[in-house]
Chain A
Amino acid sequence: MAANGAPTGLTQGARTKGGIGESTLRPDGVLKVTGEFAYASDMWHEDMLWGQILRSTVAHAEIVSVDTSEALATPGVHAVLTYDDLPTDVRHYGLEIRDTPVLAHGKVRHHGEPVAIVAADHPETARRAAAKIKVEYRELPVVTDEASATAPDAVLVHENRTDLPLSPPTSSGAGGTPVIPHVPHPNIVHRQPIVRGDATAAAGRADVIVEGDYYFGMQDQAFLGPESGLAVPGEDGGVDLYIATQWLHSDLRQIAPVLGLPEDKVRMTLSGVGGAFGGREDLSMQIHACLLALRTGRPVKIVYNRFESFFGHVHRHPARLHYEHGATRDGRLTHVKCRIVLDGGAYASASPAVVGNAASLSVGPYVVDDVDIEALALYSNNPPCGAMRGFGAVQACFAYEAQMDKVAAELGLDPVEFRRINAMEQGTLMPTGQPVDSPAPVAELLRRVKAMPMPPERQWESSEGADVRQLPGGLSNTTHGEGVVRGVGYAVGIKNVGFSEGFDDYSTARVRLEAAGGRPVVTVHTAMAEVGQGGVTVHAQIARTELGVSQVTIRPADTQVGSAGSTSASRQTYVTGGAVKHACELVRERVLELGRRRFGSYHPAWATAELLLEGGKVVTDGGEVLADLVDVLEDEAVEVEAEWRHRPTEPFDRRTGQGNGHVQYSFAAHRAVVEVDTELGLVKVIELACAQDVGKALNPLSVIGQIQGGTVQGLGIAVMEEIVVDPVTAKVRNPSFTDYLLPTILDTPALPVDVLELADDHAPYGLRGVGEAPTLSSTPAVLAAIRNATGLALDRTPVRPEHLTGTAGADGT
C-alpha cells in the first residue's frame, strides 16, 4: 500500500475480511471445544461455599412452621436462611409484576417453590442439611385450570393481589412497564381481547365454518447448562455475581432492592451460558447466592442439578385454544374467532406479554378483516410459566395451522393452495390494525418449501430387508416396517421480533478504536448475554464492516456498561447489533474529524469526498487511500458509548386490541415428512424442511444453525416433550431427562433450509430476527404430516403412542 497521504487505488484485497454476510466462525469456539470455556457451573473460588435450596414438596399449602435448628447444627454448614432472614422489606421480585417471593412466606403456591437456603462447605453437606429442615405444611385446595380458577368459591392464588408496579426506568438499568391488569377475576393474570371488523356478520358470508379445540402441552426449555452462579462478597459491602442469564440489567434491577444495596454495589458479570431459550429471563438462584455470600462473608456457588432445574425456571405456557374459521367456496377466509387460555402457573413472570403475543398473532400470517379474539393467562398452582422461544405465538400457530388444514379439507382445496390464497403480504393489516410495512413473503416461503425435493419413499427398505435403525421404534427392533405409513404436512407462522406494546426496547454499546502494536484495534463492550446464539460473532463482524478493522475484541458482558436488553424475542442482532453499528458510526465520525485535523491540508478529498474506513485505512468512496488509521489515531483512543432504539411501539387498546404494538415480523414455513408405525403408535420424522426469510443473513452459518435448532425444538413439542403435572395434586411428575423426553440425534431428521433475504428497510442492514420463527411452524407441520399419514384428528401436543393407537383416555392422557 502507498505511504501515508499519497493517493492510490484501493485493491480488492484491502476490503476487511470477516465482515457481515460472511460465515465467520465463533470467537469462543476454540475454548468451547477444548473444555476451557468457563460456564457458570465451572466457576471456582478457593474459599467458596456451596449453596442449596430447599423446595416445597407440595403445590399449595400454608406453612405452619419451619425448623432450621438441626440443619444449622450440621458440621460444615455456615448459614441457613428463610423468609424471616431477608435483609429488607423488598421480599418479592418479578419481570412484570413483583409477585414472586424470594423465599416462601406464609404459604407455598407451587410444587418446588424455594422455602429455605443453606450454605455449606461441600455440596453434599448442603443437600443433607437442607433435608434436615423441618417444614410443616397445611395443604390447601389447588387451582389447576380455568374451571377451578374461576369457580364461584375458587381459592385465590394471590389472596391479596396488588400487582405492584415496577420501579420506573433508571439511567443505569432497564426499567419496567407498570402493569395494571384489566381482568375479570383475581385468578386471571392478564387478558387481551382483539376486535376488528364484525366477525359475526362476516360469518354470515361464509360457505363453511370450521371449529376446533386444541391443547398445547407444557414444554421445558431444557437448556443443557444448569442454573448456576457464584456470588463473591465485596470489601465495600457489595457483591460480585458471576451468572448465566439472559439480561444482566433486568436481573440487577430485581436483585439490588432485595439485598438493600444500590445497583452500583451489585456488580454482575456474565459467565458462560449453556443455552437459555427464555428459561433464564426470570431470576433463579441469583438472589439466593448473593444472600448467602453476604451473610457468610464467603463466596457462594450454587449449581442446580437437573431435577432442581425443572423447578427452578418457568416453562412454556400450556394452552387450551378454541378456534372458529369461516371461508367462502373460493377459498377466502371470512373471519376468525378464537379464545386462548394460557396457564401461567403460580407467578406472573412474563405472562402479560405472552398473552399480548398470543392474541395479536392468533390469526397467523393471513388476511382476515373480521376477527374476534380473546387471550388470557391464569394464575394457578401449576408450575410458573413464562418465556420460551416463540413466546405465545407458538401455541397459536399450532392451532390456527391445524384449522387451516381443516378448512382446506372442508373446501376440497390443497392445504398449501388454501394458505397461499389467504397469505398476507406487505401492507396487510394485522388483527391489531397495524400494517405490515416490510416484506411478508408468506406465499413465497410456502412455494419454496413445497418445491424442495422429497426424500425417497421407504428409505429403510433394501434387498436385505429393513434397516431397523431408520424405522419408527429404531434400534428396539420392534417392527420390520409392516405397519408403516407416510404423511406430509405443511405449516407457516408469523412471529414478532423484539419487545412489543410500547416497551422501551433499547440497547447500549461501547466501542473503542485505538492503535496497538502498529495495528488498529477495536474493542466492543456490551452487556448482551451470549447464550449460544452467536451474538459475539456478529458484533465483531459489524465492527469490521463499519470500521474497516480486522482485529476486534469482544469484552465480557457485565454491568459496567449500559443495558443491552434481553437476549430473547429474536432481538439481539437487531437491537444490540444496531447499537454496535450506531456506536461504530459515531467512532467513525470522530476518527474522520481527527483525520481532517491532522491531514486535511494534504488532500482535498478530506473536505469534499464521502470517506470510509476500509482495510485499516481512510479511503474515499472512489477507493483512494487518504491515510492509515494508525497514523490518524497516533496515541489517541476514540471511544463512544451510545444507546440505540428501534422504532417505538405502542400498547394494545385494552378493549379492542388495536395499536401498532410490534416492531417487526418474521416468517418461516415448514414441510414435514413423517413415517408412522400405526401398530406401535410410533412416529419417525423423516425430514423437516424449512424456508425462512431472514432479511439479511449477517452470518449465514449461524442463521442456519438457529433455524435448525428452532425447528427441532418444535419437533420436540410435536412428538415427545411435555412436563406432566398431576391434575389432582399439581405436582410435577417428570422432572428429569429420563422422563422428560428430548429429541436425540436419532429422533432428528435431515433439516434442509432455504434462506430468503428480503430486506426490512427499517432494520440495521435489513436484517430480520431469526431464532424464534422456526419453532412456530415446525410443530404444526409435524402434526399435519401425522394426520395426513393416519387420518386421525390429533388435537393436542405432544402426540404420544396412545393417541395414535386409540388407547388414550377421554382427556387425551
Chain B
Amino acid sequence: MRVNLTVNGRPQEADDVWEGESLLYVLRERMGLPGSKNACEQGECGSCTVRLDGVPVCSCLVAAGQAEGREVVTVEGLAESARQRAGGGAATGARGAESASLDAARRWQAGGTDSQTGENIELAPVQQAFIDAGAVQCGFCTPGLLVAADELLERHPNPSDEDIREALSGNLCRCTGYEKIMDAVRLAAARRSEEA
C-alpha cells in the first residue's frame, strides 16, 4: 500500500508498504530518517518516540497505515519545530537528516573542538541542554527522550522533578542513571524561563 504523511513539516509518501510495517520501520527504512531508534520494538523503552499530531507515541506500536494523512515530528525535526514555536518565521521545511548510509558512516569523524562541532547546526534548546548536561552517553535512548522531554516542556514549562520523572518514565536509558537527564531537562526549563 501507499502511505502519505507529513514528517517534520514535509509531505512524504512511501510505496509498497507491507500492512504489518510499523511507522518506525517506514521512517527508518523507507524515508531515510533513522533518528527514531529500534531498541525494543514493543513499546517498552521509548527509544522510538515521535509525536503523532503532537502526541508522543512509540512509533514501533503505530502501524504505518495508522499514520496516513497525519503529522509526525521526529528527533530530526525537533530543532525546526522548536524554532517555529519560538516564532522563528516561515517554515521552510525541516532539515531532513541524511540517511545513515554507508557513506555517512564512513565519513563519520569526531572532529572539531568538542562542543563546537555543532556550531553551525541549529539545535532545539532541549537538544543543547542534553549535550551540556552530559545526558548523552551511548545516545541510543536520546532521540526518544528528547521528543518526550520537548513535549513535556511545551506543555509544562516549569516542571517539578516528579513531573519530569513521570513524563519520561516510558523511556529507558541504560547508560546515564537518569540523573544527568534530569539535569538536562531542568537546564532546558531554566534557560527557557530566563529567556522569557
Q: Which of chain A's residues have a CB closer than 8 A to the CB of B176? A: 705, 708-709
Please tell me if B34 contacts chain A, counting CB pairs below 8 Å: yes
A469 touches B34 (CB 8 A): no
Please tell me if B1 contacts chain A, counting CB pairs below 8 Å: no
B121 touches A34 (CB 8 A): yes
Q: How far is the CA of A235 from the CA of B180 in the complex (A)?
A: 46
Please encode chain B, from 106 to 121, with 1 for each CB lying within 8 Å of some chain A CB and 0 for all others: 1011111111011001
B177 touches A18 (CB 8 A): no
Q: Which of chain A's residues have a CB closer than 8 A to the CB of B181? A: 745
Distance in Å: Cβ of B77 to nearest Cβ of chain A: 9
Please tell me if B193 contacts chain A, counting CB pairs below 8 Å: no
Q: Which residue on chain B has the smallest CB distance to residue A222?
A: B174
Q: Which of chain A's residues have a CB closer than 8 A to the CB of B162? A: 467, 469-470
Q: Which of chain A's residues have a CB closer than 8 A to the CB of B92? A: none
Distance in Å: Cβ of B12 to nearest Cβ of chain A: 16
B109 touches A550 (CB 8 A): no
Chain A residues 214 to 244 lying within 8 A of chain B, measured CB to CB, are: 221-226, 230, 232, 242
Q: How far is the CA of A36 from the CA of B175 in the complex (A)?
A: 19
Please tell me if A77 contacts chain B, counting CB pairs below 8 Å: no
Q: Which residue on chain B has the smallest CB distance to residue A701?
A: B134
Interface of A (DSSP majority class): loop
* Tally of chain B residues near chain A (CB < 8 A): 78
B100 touches A226 (CB 8 A): no
**A-B contacts at CB below 8 angstroms, number:** 256
Please tell me if B138 contacts chain A, counting CB pairs below 8 Å: yes
A34 touches B76 (CB 8 A): yes
Chain B residues 104 to 158 lying within 8 A of chain A, measured CB to CB, are: 104-106, 108-115, 117-118, 121, 123, 127-128, 130-132, 134, 136-143, 146
Q: How far is the CA of A713 from the CA of B101 in the complex (A)?
A: 33
Q: Which residue on chain A has the smallest CB distance to residue B115?
A: A25
Q: Which of chain B's residues have a CB closer than 8 A to the CB of A708? A: 176-180
Please encode chain B, from 72 to 88, with 1 for each CB lying within 8 Å of some chain A CB and 0 for all others: 00111011000000000
Q: How far is the CA of A25 from the CA of B118 in the complex (A)?
A: 11
Distance in Å: Cβ of B185 to nearest Cβ of chain A: 10
Chain B residues 54 to 72 lying within 8 A of chain A, measured CB to CB, are: none
B102 touches A32 (CB 8 A): no
Q: How far is the CA of A490 from the CA of B80 in the complex (A)?
A: 48
A737 in contact with B40 given A42-B28, A225-B138, A553-B110 (CB within 8 Å):
yes
A124 touches B18 (CB 8 A): yes
Chain A residues 464 to 479 lying within 8 A of chain B, measured CB to CB, are: 467, 469-470, 475
Q: How far is the CA of A275 from the CA of B142 in the complex (A)?
A: 12
Which of B42, B132, B175, B178 contacts A737, CB < 8 Å?
Answer: B42
Distance in Å: Cβ of B96 to nearest Cβ of chain A: 10
B131 touches A33 (CB 8 A): yes
Please encode chain A, from 36 to 48, with 1 for each CB lying within 8 Å of some chain B CB and 0 for all others: 1111011111000
Q: Which of chain A's residues have a CB closer than 8 A to the CB of B100? A: 36-39, 42-44
B137 touches A709 (CB 8 A): yes
The 29 sampled A-B contact pairs (Cβ below 8 Å) are A27-B117, A32-B139, A33-B75, A34-B75, A34-B123, A35-B36, A35-B76, A36-B98, A38-B108, A223-B138, A223-B174, A224-B138, A224-B141, A225-B138, A225-B140, A274-B138, A275-B174, A305-B38, A467-B162, A554-B110, A556-B109, A702-B134, A705-B175, A709-B174, A709-B177, A737-B42, A737-B45, A742-B172, A742-B174
Using CB atoms and an 8 Å cutoff, list the residues of chain A in contact with chain B. 18, 23-39, 41-45, 122, 124, 221-226, 230, 232, 242, 269, 271-277, 299, 303, 305-306, 467, 469-470, 475, 530-534, 536-537, 540, 550-556, 701-702, 704-705, 708-713, 736-738, 742-746, 748, 750-751
* Apart from the given pairs A225-B140, A540-B114, A708-B178, 9 other A-B contacts in the complex at a CB distance below 8 Å: A29-B130, A33-B143, A35-B33, A35-B35, A38-B105, A222-B174, A232-B102, A551-B112, A737-B39
